[in-house]
Amino acid sequence: MKQFIQTNRNRRRVLVVDDELINRELLSAILSPRYEVVQAENGAEAWELLTTSEQPFSLVMLDLFMPVMSGFELLEKRRESEEARAVPVIVMTSDKSAEVKSIRMGAADFISKPYHLPDVILARCERIIELNEDKSIIRYTERDALTELYSKEYFSEYIRRLRPDLKGDVDAAVLYIEHFGMLNELFGRAEGDRILRETAGLITRIIISSSGIACRTDGNSFRIYRRHCDNWEELVERVQTELSSLSPSKGLRLRAGVYQSVDPELDTESCFDRAKAACDRIKGNYGRNTEFYNRELHELEMHRQRLIGDIDEAIENGDLRVFYQPKYRISGERPVLCSAEALVRWQHPRLGMISPGEFIPLFEKNGLIGKIDGCVWREAAAQVGKWKEKYGFTLPVSVNVSRVDIFDHSLECKLCSLLESFGLKPGDLMLEITESAYSDNAERLISLVGSLRSCGFPIEMDDFGSGYSSLNMLTTIPIDILKLDMSFIRSMMLDKKSLRLVELILDIAKFLGVPTVAEGVETEEQLLTLKKMGCEIIQGYYFSPPVPAERFSEFIEKEIMQST
With cut-offs at 50, 70 and 90, classify the pLDDT of residue 376.
very high
The 10s digit of each residue's pLDDT in 50-99 is 888 878 888 998 888 889 998 888 888 888 777 788 888 888 877 777 87
Give the mean pLDDT of the chain.
85
Sign of CA dihedral 150, 152, 154, 157: positive
Angle of CA points 280, 282, 286, to nearest 5°: 140
With cut-offs at 50, 70 and 90, classify the pLDDT of residue 467.
low
Contact 264, 163 (CB under 8 A): yes
Q: What class has domain 323-345+369-563? A: alpha beta
The 10s digit of each residue's pLDDT in 531-554 is 999 999 999 999 999 999 999 999
Least Cα distance to 485 among 465, 471, 468, 503 occurs for: 465
CA-CA distance, 173 to 260, in Å (whole number)? Answer: 8
Which of 149-153, 259-263, 525-529 is the least confident region? 149-153
Using a pLDDT cut of 90, give the percent of the chain over it: 33
Q: What is the pLDDT of residue 10?
A: 57
CA-CA distance, 109 to 126, in Å (whole number)? Answer: 12
Contact 459, 480 (CB under 8 A): yes
Domain ranges of the chain: 2-142, 152-293, 323-345+369-563
Indicate if the pLDDT at residue 155 is higher than 90: no
CA-CA distance, 19 to 42, in Å (whole number)? Answer: 6
> What is the CATH topology of the domain spanning 152-293?
Alpha-Beta Plaits (3.30.70)
Q: What is the pLDDT of residue 163?
A: 74
The 10s digit of each residue's pLDDT in 24-58 is 888 888 888 888 899 998 989 988 888 888 788 88
CA-CA distance, 289 to 121, in Å (whole number)? Answer: 59
Beta strands in 181-319, from DSSP E residues, in sequence order: 212-218, 221-227, 254-259, 290-292
Indicate if the pLDDT at residue 485 is higher than 90: no
CA-CA distance, 329 to 345, in Å (whole number)? Answer: 26
- For residue 344, report the phi and psi dihedrals to the nearest 5 degrees: -90, 145
Q: What is the arithmetic mean of pLDDT over 287-305? A: 84
The 10s digit of each residue's pLDDT in 394-410 is 999 999 998 888 888 89
Give the DSSP H or E segment for 323: strand 320-329
CB proximity list for 532: less than 8 A, separation 6 or greater: none
Indicate if the pLDDT at residue 515 is higher than 50: yes
Q: What is the arithmetic mean of pLDDT over 320-338? A: 93
Counting runs of H as helices and runs of E as strands, what totals does the chain give? 23, 21
How does DSSP classify residue 469? Answer: T
Residue 99 falls in which region: left (phi positive, over 0), alpha (psi -120 to 50) or beta: alpha
Least Cα distance to 24 among 34, 35, 38 occurs for: 38
Q: What is the pLDDT of residue 107?
A: 84
Contact 32, 6 (CB under 8 A): yes
Q: What is the pLDDT of residue 450?
A: 87
Q: What is the arithmetic mean of pLDDT over 434-458? A: 79
The 10s digit of each residue's pLDDT in 5-18 is 333 445 888 999 98
Q: What class has domain 2-142? A: alpha beta
Q: What is the pLDDT of residue 71?
A: 86
CB proximity list for 353: less than 8 A, separation 6 or greater: 345, 346, 347
Q: What is the arithmetic mean of pLDDT over 327-344? A: 93
Give the DSSP H or E segment for 195: helix 189-202
Contact 516, 536 (CB under 8 A): yes
How does DSSP classify residue 495? Answer: -
Indicate if the pLDDT at residue 363 is higher than 50: yes
Tell me which long-range contacts 504-510 makes (C-beta under 8 A, separation of at least 24): 505/464, 505/465, 506/533, 506/534, 506/535, 508/471, 508/474, 508/482, 509/482, 510/534
Q: What is the arithmetic mean of pLDDT over 154-159? A: 82
- Burial tier of 316 (Cβ tally within 10 Å: 0-12, 13-18, 19+): exposed
Q: What is the pLDDT of residue 150?
A: 85
Give the number of residues written for the chain: 564
Contact 398, 381 (CB under 8 A): no
Beta strands in 440-536, from DSSP E residues, in sequence order: 459-464, 481-484, 516-519
Q: What is the pLDDT of residue 469?
A: 47
Pairing of strands 13-17, 2-4: unpaired
